[in-house]
Amino acid sequence: MQLRLITVGQKMPSWVEQGYNEYARRFPRDFQLELIEVPAVKRGKNADITRLTDKEGEAMLSHVSSADWVIALDVKGKQLSTPQLAQQIEHWQQHHPSVVFFVGGPEGLAPACIERANQKVSLSNLTFPHPMVRVIIAESLYRAWSVTVNHPYHRE
């Protein structure tokens, strides 16, 4: 199974890269998590945020095929527990060999990305800085995967 995390923003602080890489490297070869970063469009004083977000969305969508199962990380999405995410992973493994997660920039996801999504998931009712979401989703996916293979990482 191939998982891709498509995010807005590059050149993250070292702690973000280290955190993400720590969990991404733990996955087995047949269950890889790949990070694809699209550049954040520069925001000026009088920036047209809608246009900039749409441009970032176009860049994100350029990395998606029609066969991909797309999940938008969105505050309005459904919150999943770790066991529920593990069930989702088992479902994706059986039905969707390529799963893509969209993580937007400071203003969130472009409407086109939300429209393309097959599912909308919320990590929390809290708002997280978008760089931190990379680490949270990588750890959450690893934890849920560990449940599916009875790995001792997750303890209830």
pLDDT digits (tens, 9 = 90+) for 91-148: 999 999 899 999 998 888 999 999 999 999 999 888 888 889 999 999 999 999 999 9
Is the residue at 88 inside a domain? Answer: yes
Q: Which residue range is the domain that position 138 belongs to?
A: 2-149
| Count of domains forming the chain | 1
Numbered residues of the known binding site: 73, 104, 123-128
**Cβ atoms of residues 134 and 8 within 8 Å:** no
What percentage of the chain reaches a pLDDT higher than 70?
97
Numbered residues of the known binding site for S-adenosyl-L-methionine: 73, 104, 123-128
Is the residue at 156 inside a domain? Answer: no
Give 155's pLDDT tier (boundaries 50, 70, 90): low
Is the residue at 154 inside a domain? Answer: no
